[in-house]
Amino acid sequence: MSPAIRVVEGGLFATVQDLGRVGHQGLGVPPSGALDPVSLRTANLVVGNPPGTAALEMCRLGCTLEVEADSVRVALAGARVSPPMLESMVLRRGDTLAIGRIAGGACYLAVEGGFDIAPVLGSLSTYTRAGFGGLHGGRLLAGDRLPLVRPAATPRRERRLPHPVPAGRDRPLRVLLGPQDDHFTEEAIDALLSADFTVTPHADRMGLRLSGPRLTHVGRPEIATDGLATGALQVPGSGHPIALLPDRHTSGGYPKICAVIAADLHRLGQSVPGTVLRFEAVAPEQARVALARLESAMAGMADLLSEA
Amino acid sequence: MPLPEPRLLPLGDAALTVEFGPAYTPEAAARARSLDRQLQGTEGIVERVATLRSLTIHYDPRRLSLRRLTALLRGLAPAAETEAEGARWMLPICYEGEYAPDLTDLAARLGMPPGEVVAIHAAGRYLAAMVGGYPGYPYLAGLDPRLAAPRRTTPRIAVPAGSLGVANEFTAIYPQTVPGGWNLIGRTPVPLFDPLREPPSLVATGDEVRFRPIPPAEFAALAEGFRAGADPVALCRA
């Protein structure tokens, strides 16, 4: 049989994701892709793949996997799990790997060489709501087989990272106000930038509903549909924001009070129900510097790799 | 009269919305489509989303700064509006029976016989003013004002794929089975969106769409044909 990883237990919500589907938002197709792209890239770095290679994204409760190949090299990164993280390891035919509970939003399992799955619209990312991408358009279930590109691990030493990319866990998420901050009262903007917001159980790959002080609109709580972005905080009539994640719609009719900057999207993507979020407004120049710092930290990770 | 300057609204640090007006107007939608075309191939711009009143530009802030993007936009000459800029489609629609669950209701609300609703709708020539919301969902402008009616007060939990809806000044077709509140007056057997097709959406923003009424028997035959692999592009090009 062709080399594969067999899913013994599907976990809570596991999908194949890469860095997203680019170029089809104009037709209403969301980008999808990893909730935490930094951890996806980290897992790929450790296992020796190009950074955007599709990996297994697991949320809250991970899969149990069995190797149906001579061997396969894997690496885990992202939210904490019990198996060793940030180090590559070779699993052999018949070995099982139980990921178990995930302490955070998403954990990534990268496999050396990647999965042998045909891209849909240029990406391996799974978009479950329309049922395409990934293995079969849906979340992984017991019995699924993830085909592997490589029949066996390449002979080389294992590698590890001493620590993940520093995430600044306790810092507020940095946002740019707008595009519709003028649709909210001054008190709403003050509350957005000073209060705690808690992620409610209404959280999936489309977005996170937040609870906190009510953000009051000036006038009607709707606008004529315009474009959406991952990280934008749209506020419906309830006054409680929804932070948009990669499976969001491409356009929508609720005013967006602010949007999380690119350098902090991976932190937003690691939120789970109960996570407390705070927001800090920054200027575009600060956002630019923050992203340059993140990219240079990512580039520095390659130098931190050590051989076991 | 010079066109009003659009508003440039940052949507985070990797997207910028160019807003041509607070609501849909044919002019605002046309300007969004024109700018969309003008920006094709611009270094650093990842993709663009035209809506009925704006264009959202997703860019890579590592390659293109907000300042440079803004300067580039301010330097562009407003593009001439062109109509019928896209492809032309003739879509078969069955306006009968189970395929048109809201037709009788809508006709009563509009005070005309159902046959007249169908005749007016099928005689229309529509412009895909925007595609989005759901993958491949076209907002078709040009609905006869006599057919303008608000959405249903209670949206349906599942509108069958291919359903033709009308609401306010638009008509649209649901490419997938999704929740929706438009008044359903027909259904097409044509698969409007297929992620394995290139391009995946039959109708693109700027295309012209007309409708051809078909009886249920033809609906069934066409649906069977598409299931067997018939090419909707070849069958529906006007």
pLDDT, chain A, mean: 96
Under-50 pLDDT residues of chain B: none
CB of B200 within 8 Å of a chain A CB? The answer is: yes
Q: What integer pLDDT is reported at residue B154 of this predicted model?
A: 84
- Between the alpha carbon of residue B77 and those of residues A139, A260, B38, B81, the distances in Å are 47, 32, 10, 12
CA–CA min distance A82, chain B (Å):
35
CB of B62 within 8 Å of a chain A CB? The answer is: yes
Interface with chain A: mutation pick from B7, B8, B13, B47, highest number of A CBs within 10 Å: B13
Contacts of B48 in chain A (CB under 8 A): 25-26
How many other CB atoms are there within 10 angstroms of residue A147's CB atom?
15
CB of A22 within 8 Å of a chain B CB? The answer is: yes
CB of A249 within 8 Å of a chain B CB? The answer is: yes
How many other CB atoms are there within 10 angstroms of residue A209's CB atom?
19
- H/E run at residue A147: strand A145-147
Report CB contact under 8 Å: A130, B50.
Answer: no
Domains B7-75 and B88-236 fall in the same CATH topology: no
Q: What integer pLDDT is reported at residue A168 of this predicted model?
A: 75
| Residue among A141, A261, A194 at smallest CA distance from B66 | A261
Ordered by start, the domain boundaries in chain B are 7-75, 88-236
Report CB contact under 8 Å: B133, A23.
Answer: no
The two most distant CA atoms of chain A are separated, in Å, by 65
Q: How many residues does chain A have?
A: 308
Report CB contact under 8 Å: A226, B17.
Answer: yes
pLDDT tens per residue across span A215-267: 999 988 889 999 999 999 999 999 999 999 999 999 999 999 999 999 999 99
| Residue among B174, B184, B54 at smallest CA distance from A223 | B54
**Cβ–Cβ pairs < 8 A, chains A and B:** 144
Report CB contact under 8 Å: A130, B195.
Answer: yes
CB of B120 within 8 Å of a chain A CB? The answer is: no
> What DSSP character marks residue B49?
E
Interface with chain A: mutation pick from B7, B8, B11, highest number of A CBs within 10 Å: B11
Q: In this structure, what is the dihedral angle of CA atoms A50, A56, A61, A66, given to the nearest 10 degrees?
A: -110
pLDDT tens per residue across span A164-196: 998 777 799 999 999 999 999 999 999 999 999
Confidence of residue A205 (pLDDT cuts 50, 70, 90): very high
- The pair of structure tokens assigned to B85 is 């800029």
- H/E run at residue B222: helix B216-227
Euclidean distance between CA atoms A120 and A240, whole angstroms: 35
Q: What integer pLDDT is reported at residue A128 of this predicted model?
A: 96
List of domains in chain A: 4-164 (no CATH), 173-297 (2.40.100.10)
Euclidean distance between CA atoms A282 and B61, whole angstroms: 15
Residues B189/B162, Cβ–Cβ less than 8 Å: yes
CB of A24 within 8 Å of a chain B CB? The answer is: yes
Q: What integer pLDDT is reported at residue B152 of this predicted model?
A: 87
> Cis omega (within 30 of 0) on the bond before B26?
no
Report CB contact under 8 Å: B61, A262.
Answer: yes
Residues B130/B29, Cβ–Cβ less than 8 Å: yes
Residue with tokens 């990797």: B14
Report CB contact under 8 Å: B13, A178.
Answer: no
Give the class (CATH, top level) of B7-75.
alpha beta
Q: B88-236 maps to which CATH number? A: 2.40.100.10
What is the arrangement of strands in the sheet containing A4-9, beginning at the earlier edge strand? A96-98, A64-68, A4-9, A145-147
Report CB contact under 8 Å: B132, A25.
Answer: yes
Euclidean distance between CA atoms B98 and B22, whole angstroms: 38
Q: What is the mean pLDDT of residues A101-123?
A: 97
Residues A244/A230, Cβ–Cβ less than 8 Å: yes
How many other CB atoms are there within 10 angstroms of residue A101's CB atom?
14
Report CB contact under 8 Å: B56, A132.
Answer: no
What percent of chain A is modeled with pLDDT above 90? 95
Residues contacting A308, CB < 8 A, separation 6+ = A87, A157, A158, A159, A160
Provide the H-helix boundaries in chain A.
37-47, 186-194, 265-269, 284-304
Q: Does residue A93 have a pLDDT over 70?
A: yes
Q: Where are the beta strands (DSSP E) in B51-176?
A: 54-59, 88-93, 126-131, 138-141, 156-159, 163-167, 170-173
Q: What integer pLDDT is reported at residue B133 of this predicted model?
A: 84
- H/E run at residue B221: helix B216-227
Q: What integer pLDDT is reported at residue A167 of this predicted model?
A: 77
Tell me which residue in B22, B51, B58 faces A229 most closely, judged by beta carbons: B58
- Between the alpha carbon of residue A230 and those of residues A51, A216, B16, the distances in Å are 20, 22, 13
